[in-house]
Structure 1
Amino acid sequence: MRVLTLILYKLAKRCRFALGFNPAEGAAPNHKKEAAEKNMSTAEQREQIAHRQAILLDLLMLILVVLDLSWIAFDQIFGIKLIREQLFDAFLPQFSSWYFEEVHQSFLLYESTIFGTFFIVEISLRWVWAIWKKRYAKWFFYPIVHWYDVLGCIPLSSFRVLRFLRVIALLYSLHKWKFINLYNYSLFRLVIHYYNIAVEEISDRVAISLLEEAKIEIRRGTPLSKALAQDVFRPKHAELTDWAAGHIQAGLQLHYHRHRYEIQAYLKDIIEEITHGNKELKQLQKIPVLGKSIQQDVEQAVSSITFGVIDRLTTDLANKEHLVVLETTVAAVLEVIFQMSEHSKGEKDNLANDLVIESVDLIINRIRKKRWQEVEASWKA
Structure 2
Amino acid sequence: MTVEPQRTKTGFQAIRHDTIAWKLYLAYDIFMMLIIVINLICISSNAFLMSHIGAWVFEQLHLSHILQLYKTELNPWVIKTENWFIVFLIIELFIRWLIAIVQKHHQRWFFFPFIHWYEILAIHPYLRFLRLIRAGIIAFRLHELGYHVVPSAMLKQLKFYYHVLMEELSDRVVISVIDGVKMELDTSSTHKRIIHDLVDHHREMFATTLAQVLQESLATELKAQQNLIAENVGHVVVKAIEDTPELTQLLRLIPIVGGRIEQQIHSIGQRLGENITHGLVQPLVTGSSTTPNAQYQRIAEKLSQINIENRSLEQLVESVVYESLESLRKQVAVKQWQLKLEKNDQLKE
TM-score (norm 1): 0.62
1:192 aligned onto 2:159: yes
CA shift, 1:258, in A, is 4.5
Percent identical among aligned pairs is: 17
- Alignment correspondent of 1:301: 271
What SS does the aligned partner of 2:297 have?
helix
- Asked whether the equivalents of residues 215 and 293 of structure 2 are also in contact (C-alpha less than 8 Å), the reply is no
Q: Is the alpha carbon distance of 1:275 and 1:365 closer, same or farther for their aligned partners in structure 2, counting shifts above 3 Å?
A: farther
> Which residue in 2 is equivalent to 1:24?
none
CA RMSD between the two structures: 4.6
Q: Please state if 1:201 is matched with 2:164.
A: no
Q: Which consecutive residues of structure 1, in runs of 5 or more, have no partner in the other structure?
A: 1-17, 19-40, 90-95
> What is the CA–CA distance in structure 2 between the aligned matches of 1:254 and 1:313, rounded to whole Å?
12
Please say if 1:171 is aligned against 2:136: no
* CA distances 1:216-259 after superposition (whole Å, capped 9, x unpaired): 3335412456423542333x58xx53x55555444478655554
Is residue 44 of structure 1 aligned with residue 17 of structure 2?
A: no
Q: How many residues align?
A: 314
Cα deviation, 1:309-349, whole Å, max 9, x if unaligned, reads: 2454355x0579xx76x3433332333234323x7444324
Any idea what SS the aligned residue of 2:305 has?
helix
Residue of structure 1 equivalent to 2:303: 337
Matching of residues 209-358 of structure 1 within 5 Å: 209-219=176-186, 220=188, 221-223=191-193, 226-234=196-204, 236=205, 241=208, 245-246=211-212, 248-251=214-217, 255-256=221-222, 258-268=224-234, 270-271=236-237, 281-286=244-249, 287-288=251-252, 289-290=258-259, 292-293=262-263, 296-310=266-280, 312-315=282-285, 317=286, 326-341=292-307, 344-358=309-323
Corresponding position of 1:60:
31
Higher relative helix content: 1
Deviations along 1:167-206, whole A, 9 cap, x unmatched? Answer: 334323444x545468862122123223322332332233
Maintained 8 Å contact 1:224/1:349: no
Deviation at 1:108, TM superposition (A): 1.2
Are positions 1:121 and 2:87 aligned together? no
SS in 2 for 1:285: helix
Change (3 A) 1:197 1:138: same
Matched with 2:336 is 371
Q: Return the alpha-carbon distance in structure 1 between the equivalents of residues 195 and 246 of structure 2.
A: 54
The 1:298–1:185 alpha-carbon spacing in structure 2 relative to 1, beyond 3 Å, is: same
The separation in 1 between residues aligned to 2:234 and 2:110, in whole angstroms, is 74
User: Does structure 2 retain, via aligned residues, the 8 Å contact 1:245–1:330?
Assistant: yes
Matched, 1:112 2:80: no
Between 351-360 and 293-302, report the one with greater CA deviation: 293-302
Structure 2 unmatched ranges of 5 or more: 4-9, 253-257
Contact 1:127–1:142 (Cα < 8 Å) also in 2: no
SS at match of 1:340: coil
